[in-house]
Amino acid sequence: MLRRNFLATSTGALLAQPRRKPNFVVILADDLGYGELGFQGRSDFATPHLDSIANSGVRFTNGYVSAPFCCPSRAGLMTGRYQTRFGHEMNVVGKRNLDPNIGLPSTERTMANHFQEAGYRTGLIGKWHLGGHPMNRGFDEFYGFLHEGHFYYPPPYRGAVTRLRENEPPYDDDNPLMRGRNVVEEKSYLTDALGREASSFIERNGEKPFFLYLAFNAIHSPMQAPVALMNEFEGLRGEQRRLFAAMTRSMDNATGRVLETLRTRGLEQDTLVFFLSDNGGPTAELTSSNAPLRGGKGQLYEGGIRVPFACQWKGRIAAGRVSHETVSALDLLPTAMSAAGLTLPTNFDGVNLMPHLGYSAKPVERKSLFWRYGQNLAMRKGQWKVVKQRSNDFQLFDLASDPAETTDLAVLRADMKKQLLAELEATNREMAAPLWV
């Protein structure tokens, strides 16, 4: 049963209930570093459409994902639960994607499952990377690919500048582009095509509530961009950085197309939009900067798990606000379900952000955040974080004064380290063993 849901204004008045159930759009970048994008302070190239989400809504400076790699991070996002609770702990690459025993367990319900059951039209455009097929996990429509990566143009990459790493994985092997369950051929640059398909989904489904998950593979390797876009960045130093800028610009343009479709269809005030990255950037591989944070993709230092994170809901949440509250990709599902007036399951690890997004901006009710990836462990509670990366001992950082994690306070504040480790160890005991290693 739906329950009434109001947002408080700064004067204490109440905004009326939306005229219909709200739509939800989740836009996910792949391997985008914390220090990129205009709304994060980057100035060497513009990202106006992505910036507009932050400018029209709320930018989170302490926005996290639940893992430092693609596959487990997406499992947490899709379920609102620590993926380590159900064994989806390790990443999946290459031919392991074809193993039917690897992927999101069938016992877990996805964001799409929840909204499909509530009468929403559900669509995934882009990258899945959770095993099996997304149309078996609550999605009515799918256009994209199933595994961890994909070339942006088919060989021989006509009209593109391509920079391949030595021994670049054969991303497209056994990983075709699909519409629904049927293999298709795509001639457009893939990021442009995903923007086109996401806009088409909105056009076709805008008369009733919808959930759209637009999961770009940009700016994940291989580095590949149209020549015409590359030419716009001749002032940047080095082909690798120009490629990164062109790939990011294409993602920004595709996002702009989606936002324009919402505007032209009169759906902005009916649609809550979230944007974030799935993990931190692999700087050496892509130039994707995590500045001023330490580390990057694959690590539980801040650069691997703190990401660009923003949302908008025109006319429903405050615009141009910067929040320093600790939020997580785990929060998207309970927040969206609450905004839709749906009853929340009791097993979510994420929290409902709607009271914080309202004009009264109430504090986020969160005790702590936990991470485990193999032998690597971390927990953040308030301003404090303990982290064990690889063979290192647990380190303690005060993120309020030291977001770059430069000064280990484990000895100086042994009391705080002991307190956090006790909670981390108790949480860790609740988690399941990895289903694969």
Q: Please tell me the chain's helix, strand, coil percentages from 3-state DSSP, rounded to the nearest 5.
A: 30, 20, 50
71 assigned to active site: no
* Tokens describing residue 52: 């507009």
Rounded distance, CA 394 to CA 269, Å? 46
Report residue 24: phi and psi, to 5°: -135, 130
Which residue, 341, 365, 389, sits at the end of a domain?
Answer: 365
Amino acid making up residue 21:
K
- Whether the CB-CB separation of 409 and 419 falls below 8 Å is answered with no
Rounded distance, CA 252 to CA 229, Å? 12
Same domain, 378 and 255: no
* Tokens describing residue 312: 């908008």
DSSP 8-state code for residue 271: E
Among residues 123, 126, 65, 71, the alpha carbon closest in space to that of 97 is found at: 71
Same domain, 342 and 376: no
DSSP 8-state code for residue 128: -
- Tell me, what's the pLDDT at 170? 86
Among residues 345, 342, 270, the alpha carbon closest in space to that of 2 is found at: 342
- Whether the CB-CB separation of 233 and 246 falls below 8 Å is answered with yes
Q: Given the residues 49, 70, 150, 356, select the one marked as catalytic.
A: 70
* Tokens describing residue 1: 């049963």
Same domain, 256 and 330: yes
- Tell me, what's the pLDDT at 167? 83
Asked if the structure places residue 435 within a domain, the reply is no
**52 φ/ψ sector (left φ>0, alpha ψ -120 to 50, else beta):** alpha
Beta-bridged to residue 312, according to DSSP, are: 273
Same domain, 352 and 420: no
Q: Given the residues 88, 114, 129, 356, select the one marked as catalytic.
A: 129
Quick one: average pLDDT of 347-359?
A: 95
Same domain, 185 and 292: yes
- Tell me, what's the pLDDT at 19? 64
- Whether the CB-CB separation of 49 and 253 falls below 8 Å is answered with yes
Residue 395's domain comprises 370-429
pLDDT in tens, 188-215: 999 999 999 999 999 999 999 999 999 9
Which residue, 348, 365, 382, sits at the end of a domain?
Answer: 365
Same domain, 322 and 402: no
Q: Kindly tell me if the per-residue pLDDT of 155 is higher than 90.
A: no
Same domain, 285 and 354: yes
The structure tokens 């950085």 sit at 241
Rounded distance, CA 117 to CA 88, Å? 24
Asked if the structure places residue 295 within a domain, the reply is yes
pTM of the model: 0.94
* Residue 200: Cβ-neighbour burial (10 angstroms; 0-12, 13-18, 19+): middle
- Whether the CB-CB separation of 396 and 386 falls below 8 Å is answered with yes
Same domain, 137 and 213: yes
- Tell me, what's the pLDDT at 20? 82
Asked if the structure places residue 273 within a domain, the reply is yes
The structure tokens 């691997």 sit at 304
pLDDT in tens, 296-338: 999 999 999 999 999 999 999 989 999 999 999 999 999 999 9
Q: Kindly tell me if the per-residue pLDDT of 340 is higher than 70.
A: yes
311 assigned to active site: no
Q: Kindly tell me if the per-residue pLDDT of 9 is higher than 50.
A: no
DSSP 8-state code for residue 403: T
CB atoms within 10 A of CB 89: 24
Same domain, 360 and 375: no
Sheet strands side by side (includes 369-373):
369-373, 376-381, 384-388, 395-398
Same domain, 333 and 408: no
- Whether the CB-CB separation of 216 and 198 falls below 8 Å is answered with no
Report residue 311: phi and psi, to 5°: -150, 160
Rounded distance, CA 304 to CA 367, Å? 21
Rounded distance, CA 23 to CA 115, Å? 10
Q: Kindly tell me if the per-residue pLDDT of 15 is higher than 50.
A: no
- Whether the CB-CB separation of 250 and 225 falls below 8 Å is answered with yes
pLDDT in tens, 115-140: 999 999 999 999 999 999 999 999 99
Asked if the structure places residue 4 within a domain, the reply is no
Q: Kindly tell me if the per-residue pLDDT of 12 is higher than 60.
A: no
Same domain, 409 and 280: no
Total domain count, the chain: 2
Which residue, 365, 382, 410, sits at the end of a domain?
Answer: 365
pLDDT in tens, 393-414: 999 999 999 999 999 999 999 9
Asked if the structure places residue 11 within a domain, the reply is no
CATH number at residue 30: 3.40.720.10
Same domain, 75 and 114: yes
Asked if the structure places residue 5 within a domain, the reply is no
Asked if the structure places residue 267 within a domain, the reply is yes
Asked if the structure places residue 220 within a domain, the reply is yes
CATH number at residue 380: 3.30.1120.10
Rounded distance, CA 197 to CA 203, Å? 10
Q: CB within 8 A of 254, min separation 6: which ones?
A: 191, 192, 194, 195, 196, 198, 216
